[in-house]
Amino acid sequence: METASIVWFRQDLRIQDNPALHAAIRRGRPIIPVYIWSPAEEGEWQPGGASKWWLHNALLSLENELKAKQSQLIIRAGSALEILTQLRQETNADAILWNRRYEPFAIERDRKIKESFKGKVTVESFNSSLLFEPWEIHNKEGKPFKVFTAFWKTILAKGDLRPAIASDVKTWPQPEQCPDSLPLAKLQLLPKIDWAKTIRSTWQPGRAGAEKRLEIFLNGIVSNYATTRDYPGIDGVSKLSPYIHWGELSAREIWHSVKDLRLNNKNPHCAKSVETYLKELAWREFAHHLLYHFPKTDCEPLDDRFRQFPWQAKSSYLKAWQKGETGIPIVDAGMRELWATGWMHNRVRMIVASFLVKDLLIPWNDGARWFWDTLVDADLANNTLGWQWTAGCGADAAPYFRIFNPLLQSKKFDPDGDYIRTWLPELSNLSNDEIHEPWQLDKQALQRAKIVLGKNYPAPIVDHAEARLKALAAFDAIKEDRGKEDKGKAARIETSVHRGNK
């Protein structure tokens, strides 16, 4: 029986620029593409509802892509190690190849799998999702970065990236007999109650949808990205995040496509916009860099002071925030966009996150978990970085200067209320000036707009000015506690030094 190569697909659901697949093609032996559904192995970060919806459709797209190559995606469910062992026996495979993931549980799982197959078959992993490996970027002391600016400068100093792998192979060797495969529907990734109608109308998962969105971005949006990216009421961002997360596009493909655009466009405004977007890709790298080097930060604050932060986990506030019923239009619009589409504009993500942790004093972990369940681009590294950044307990954080005023943010970045009207139609009769703070209107104005506060739109659950003062007081408290700890630690060190000298 001829030997074969198993290619284990994970979050690299594409044929193009897929290092593991292309390594298998170079081996010249039959290829067994496999996807293993093993959510239990992902611990507490099992895919949420929106992620599972996307995954189902992305796998369906990959199945069709492989069929066009006269190949077949083998779907199995269960322990990755057990299934890879079974497949190796069934196919006489002498190589198991995959592209790396960087979540702590994935690193540990991959280590155990490599140890299990050591000396038996060729086992090799590749970098498919990042521009650089997390261990390749470090400061002069060889330590990981905690500040983005220095991280970004180091990436630029690395020089040009290798090009994406060309995909000119029409077919590859097939096994004499394919192993058994589960029907995709057996994974039960789609919701039993169909809540995904708006998500379906918003997104096209899979490589074709990824290429289409990239083309839209490159052919217009990116040229003005530096100015349009902060305005949620217009189509001014890439919306490539779910395609990057699921690996339907590689970060390397996007980097080169955007950079090539800058080289071919002499407009200085375009050059600035391109650099701004490339920085956003670098922020994604930074997120993975941090999670790799500080693997407990998915649940614990990077800044130890925040273990003592006086959070106020009020369930009624959390529920109002989740449902988009806080009475703050820009916050509610963002949360309703998230529920309807599985995505939220990045500027609004910062606003709603700041409101949760600073105005409501609800733990950042609660927000991270809600995003995890509702985002189609739910990425553990990005999610962790974003929430810890906003809470002030992560890398590059300056909490005193990041208590967003949702009203000022709303007026600045949604001046005409277009975004708010899209997701809060009950406020659509308000004028551009009124729509940001309907609670300030008199009875006549509310009646004219057919709004009854507390009935068809809620009154604000907190006053921002008062909430801001409470948040600052909480920050001062942990700052003082840390100061006492530092003084005590210094005294202990000094004492130990004197004893040593004796």
280 as an active site residue: the answer is yes
Q: What CATH topology corresponds to 129-161+197-293?
A: 1.25.40
Which of 90, 133, 265, 311 is flagged as catalytic? 311
Q: How far apart are CA 293 and CA 235, in angstroms?
A: 35
311 as an active site residue: the answer is yes
Q: Report CA-CA distances (Å) from 60 to 46, 108, 199, 345.
A: 20, 28, 16, 27
Which of 92, 224, 265, 346 is flagged as catalytic? 346
| Superfamily in which the 304-464 domain is placed by CATH | DNA Cyclobutane Dipyrimidine Photolyase, subunit A, domain 3 (1.10.579.10)
Domain boundaries, the chain: 4-128, 129-161+197-293, 304-464
Using CB atoms within 10 Å of the CB of residue 107, give its burial: 0 to 12 exposed, 13 to 18 middle, 19+ buried.
middle
Which of 41, 42, 211, 280 is flagged as catalytic? 280
> So what's the pLDDT on residue 495?
30
> So what's the pLDDT on residue 489?
36
Q: Which CATH number fits domain 4-128: 3.40.50.620, 3.30.930.10, 3.40.30.10, 3.40.350.10?
A: 3.40.50.620
Q: What is the pLDDT of residues 188-200, one digit of tens each?
A: 999 988 899 999 9
Confidence of residue 170 (pLDDT cuts 50, 70, 90): confident
Q: What 8-state DSSP symbol labels residue 47?
A: -
Which of 283, 339, 370, 423 is flagged as catalytic? 283
- The alpha carbon torsion through 138, 143, 144, 145 (nearest 10 deg) reads -80
CB-hemisphere CA count at 13 Å for 297?
28
Terminal alpha carbon distance of the chain? 75
Which of 8, 53, 387, 389 is flagged as catalytic? 387
Q: How much is the average pLDDT of 72-90? A: 97
Q: Is the pLDDT of residue 265 over 90?
A: no
246 as an active site residue: the answer is no
Confidence of residue 480 (pLDDT cuts 50, 70, 90): low
Q: Which two tokens stand for residue 389?
A: 């950044």
Q: Which two tokens stand for residue 229?
A: 């990216």
Q: How much is the average pLDDT of 83-99? A: 97
Which of 45, 152, 339, 364 is flagged as catalytic? 364
Answer yes or no: same fold for 4-128 and 304-464: no
Query: Model pTM?
Result: 0.93
